[in-house]
């Protein structure tokens, strides 16, 4: 364990690693869930949405930032929705500011509680690196047991936007997706995705990069080894059912998630997998 003095702090009243790169970029990662909840690129403003009504504490799922989804996506299996990694306390392995970046590595390994839900030995490592206008979030999964296992995973990124109805997400036009709101596969021929109602889509084998235009702000969204992309906004009625969102909060975010859903990864004993989402602010 190597934690530079002063980086272990609190954020929103919760134990967190608070990173600051020499160029002024900053980020905060909660130990709970290994959840990145703030990213401010150098010279810019906050790029992640975190609900003011988010719930914290043992077992909670924090609404906002980048929840780590593992080993199950949504209700596509017998486990609690979106698995358990986001609900567990993680350990800090490393936190430091370098010459031109800042980096945190957090880890989650199996314990009695995870094995009661999912009978496998694993080690997850989340690496968050900030530098200038760029954020890299990398999730690594190791099989530390004697038997193979399969898993799904996602970085459920809540991107902060000024007004969701005004944003345009480019790169997915003409691609086939599973529309969770309609329960069927569809294609949308619009060159850029806009949000005027509930959106809950999984694009399998999605292209990368995507670009989010939010007024004058731009965000490039890249992913590596996460073949699928999820786009989610609950809109008014669904968000009214979510006690951890204020009534107009759905206007303040769009989730664009790097995901591994359609073809779950299989890891032999001793095997490793990793996937990364990169955001570049403009």
Q: Are 259 and 154 in contact (CB under 8 A)?
A: yes
Distance CA 210, CA 218 (A): 10
DSSP summary character for residue 251: G
Closer residue to ligand TA6 (CB): 171 or 234: 234
Q: Are 161 and 252 in contact (CB under 8 A)?
A: yes
Closer residue to ligand TA6 (CB): 180 or 273: 180
| Residue 156 C-beta: closest distance to ligand TA6, Å | 6
Closer residue to ligand TA6 (CB): 186 or 272: 186
| Residue 19 C-beta: closest distance to ligand TA6, Å | 24
| Residue 236 C-beta: closest distance to ligand TA6, Å | 15
> Can you give the binding site for ligand TA6, defined by CB under 6 A?
61, 74, 81-82, 156, 180, 200, 230, 232, 255, 257
Q: Tokens 């290994």 map to which residue?
A: 34
Comparing every residue's Cβ against ligand TA6, the nearest one is 232
| Residue 90 C-beta: closest distance to ligand TA6, Å | 18
Of 132, 120, 131, give the one whose Cα is nearest residue 96.
131
Paired residues of 280 in beta bridges: 134, 220
Closer residue to ligand TA6 (CB): 185 or 269: 185
Alpha carbon 215 to its chain's center: 23
Closer residue to ligand TA6 (CB): 63 or 131: 63
Distance CA 94, CA 245 (A): 32
Closer residue to ligand TA6 (CB): 154 or 281: 154
| Residue 232 C-beta: closest distance to ligand TA6, Å | 4
Closer residue to ligand TA6 (CB): 203 or 232: 232
Alpha helices by DSSP H, the chain:
112-117, 235-240
| Residue 238 C-beta: closest distance to ligand TA6, Å | 7
* Region of residue 219 (left: phi > 0; alpha: psi -120 to 50; beta: else): beta
Token pair listed for 160: 């902060």
R_g over Cα of the chain: 18
DSSP summary character for residue 67: P
| Residue 20 C-beta: closest distance to ligand TA6, Å | 29
């Amino acid at each position: 364990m190597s934690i530079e003095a002063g980086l272990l702090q609190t954020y929103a009243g919760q134990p967190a690693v608070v990173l600051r790169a020499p160029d002024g970029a900053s980020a905060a990662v909660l130990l709970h869930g290994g959840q990145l909840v703030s990213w401010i690129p150098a010279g810019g403003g906050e790029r992640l949405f975190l609900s003011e009504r988010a719930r914290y504490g043992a077992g909670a799922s924090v609404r906002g930032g980048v929840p780590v989804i593992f080993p199950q996506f949504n209700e596509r299996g017998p486990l609690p929705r979106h698995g358990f990694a986001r609900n567990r306390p993680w350990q800090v392995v490393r936190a430091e500011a370098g010459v031109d970046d800042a980096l945190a590595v957090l880890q989650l390994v199996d314990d009695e509680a995870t094995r009661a839900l999912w009978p496998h030995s694993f080690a997850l490592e989340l690496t968050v690196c900030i530098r200038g206008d760029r954020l890299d979030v990398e999730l690594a999964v190791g099989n530390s047991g004697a038997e193979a296992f399969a898993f799904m995973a996602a970085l459920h990124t809540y991107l902060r936007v000024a007004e969701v109805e005004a944003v345009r997400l480019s790169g997915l036009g003409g691609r086939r997706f599973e529309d969770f709101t309609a329960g069927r596969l569809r294609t949308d021929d619009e060159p850029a995705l806009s949000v005027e109602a509930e959106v809950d889509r999984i694009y399998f084998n999605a292209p990368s990069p995507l670009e989010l235009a939010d007024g004058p702000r731009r965000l490039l969204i890249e992913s590596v080894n996460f073949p699928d992309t999820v786009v989610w906004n609950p809109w008014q009625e669904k968000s009214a059912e979510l006690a951890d969102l204020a009534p107009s909060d759905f206007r303040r975010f769009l989730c664009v998630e790097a995901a591994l859903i359609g073809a779950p990864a299989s890891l032999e004993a001793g095997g490793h997998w990793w996937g990364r989402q990169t955001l570049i602010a403009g």
